[in-house]
């Protein structure tokens, strides 16, 4: 049996165990080679697409809506997305001291997992159920999805501009800057949906670099969020991964096209072994105005 076949069967097993409403397509994360620069300079970010951390599949430029750098002084700098299927390494110039957010948005769309009518094999396609009516003999799951991601970066001392929302459709907003955390501290955050506090159900997954490379194998798995607020202990130094997902039944307008709607937000940040120098130049900006679209 081929490696790809084994991988597909493993993902299918996970999805069926979760049930149709909990099954999911790939998740995209934006990560960095250097999360903390001692002074202004350049760093590189890249995208990961799949079910494994820290790296899995490359992603086509056709699926990416944008990659944007949000600066401490409120600038929104769109990055060039090169054609092709890759991890889209992008050099970012952190040209002033302070905290930055690099964000990306996926182009929303349909994702369907199904059994082919012809060869009875399992396939994944970015297509609706109606588009696959002649090809599929059984739908395993089908969703309309949107995905958003952020990574926190510092040039010199961090500041509270990293706590400012950037305007994503679903967004994890830190209430604690990672530069103010040491191993054993608690990271707190809230979630916004279209710029407003999330008031519906959501689930939280958390992991850290080195925990596991298994399929969707998180340190914290499928924890319910209450009132759009969450927290967890960062018991060790390193890179941390946070994912929040919402799901809902398909709307009447989506009838026949998918079984449900999913929205996913991810956040990546680094916690150091000891507390770093911190600047108050950014002020207390929790819940401040968005600098996004």
The string of pLDDT tens digits covering residues 210-233 is 999 999 999 999 999 988 999 999
Domain membership of residue 289 (yes or no) is no
The tally of domains found in the chain comes to: 1
pLDDT of residue 21: 39
pLDDT band at 24 (very low <50, low <70, confident <90, very high): low
- Residue 148's domain comprises 3-271
Which pLDDT does position 274 carry in this prediction?
A: 82
- Amino acid 280: pLDDT: 65
| Location of structure tokens 């949906």 | 193
Q: Residues 247-282: pLDDT tens digits?
A: 999 999 998 999 999 999 999 999 998 877 777 654
Share above pLDDT 70 across residues of the chain, in percent, rounded to a whole number: 87
Is 33 among the domain residues? yes
pTM score: 0.85
Q: What is residue 132's three-state secondary structure?
A: helix
Report yes or no on 116 lying in a domain.
yes
| Long-range contacts of 62-65, Cβ-Cβ distance < 8 Å, separation of 24 or more | 62/107, 63/106, 63/107, 63/109, 63/126, 64/88, 64/104, 64/105, 64/106, 64/107, 65/104, 65/105, 65/106, 65/107
Token pair 């001692």 is found at: 38
Query: In this structure, is residue 276 part of a structural domain?
Result: no
pLDDT, average across residues 1-30: 54
Q: What is the pLDDT of residue 288?
A: 34
Residue 107 pLDDT > 80, yes or no? yes
pLDDT at 291 over 50: no
pLDDT at 194 > cutoff 50? yes
- Report yes or no on 243 lying in a domain: yes
Residue 260 lies in a domain: yes
pLDDT for 20 beyond 50: no
Is residue 236 situated within a structural domain? yes
Report the pLDDT value the prediction gives residue 10, as an integer from 0 to 100.
Answer: 47
Q: What is the dihedral of CA 60, 103, 193, 264, to 10 degrees?
A: 40
Judge whether 34 and 23 are in contact, CB under 8 Å: no
Q: Tell me, what's the pLDDT at 4? A: 45
Decide if 286 is inside a domain: no
Are the CB atoms for 243 and 220 separated by under 8 Å?
no
């Amino acid at each position: 049996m081929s490696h790809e076949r084994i991988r597909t069967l493993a993902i299918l097993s996970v999805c069926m165990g979760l049930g149709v409403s909990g099954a999911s397509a790939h998740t995209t994360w934006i990560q960095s080679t250097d999360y903390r620069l001692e002074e202004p300079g350049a760093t590189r970010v890249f995208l990961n697409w799949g079910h494994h951390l820290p790296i899995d599949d490359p992603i086509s430029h056709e699926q990416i809506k944008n990659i944007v750098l949000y600066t401490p002084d409120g600038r929104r700098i769109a990055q060039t997305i090169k054609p092709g299927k890759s991890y889209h390494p992008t050099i970012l110039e952190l040209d002033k001291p302070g905290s930055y957010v690099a964000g990306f948005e996926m182009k929303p769309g349909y994702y369907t997992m199904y059994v082919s009518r012809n060869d009875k094999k399992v396939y994944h396609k970015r297509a609706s159920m109606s588009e696959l009516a002649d090809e599929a003999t059984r739908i395993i799951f089908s969703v309309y999805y949107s995905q958003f991601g952020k990574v926190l970066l510092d040039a010199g001392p961090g500041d509270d501009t990293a706590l400012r929302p950037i305007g994503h459709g679903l967004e994890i907003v830190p209430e604690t800057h990672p530069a103010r955390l040491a191993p054993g501290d608690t990271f707190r955050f809230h979630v916004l949906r279209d710029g407003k506090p999330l008031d519906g159900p959501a689930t939280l997954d958390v992991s850290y670099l080195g925990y596991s490379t298994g399929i969707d194998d998180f340190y914290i798995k499928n924890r319910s969020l209450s009132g759009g607020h969450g927290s967890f202990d960062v018991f060790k130094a390193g890179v941390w991964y946070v994912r929040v997902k919402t799901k809902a039944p398909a709307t009447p307008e989506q009838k026949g096209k998918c079984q449900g709607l999913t929205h996913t937000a991810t956040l990546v940040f680094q916690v150091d072994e000891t507390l770093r120098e911190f600047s108050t130049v950014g002020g207390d900006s929790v819940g401040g105005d968005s600098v996004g679209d």
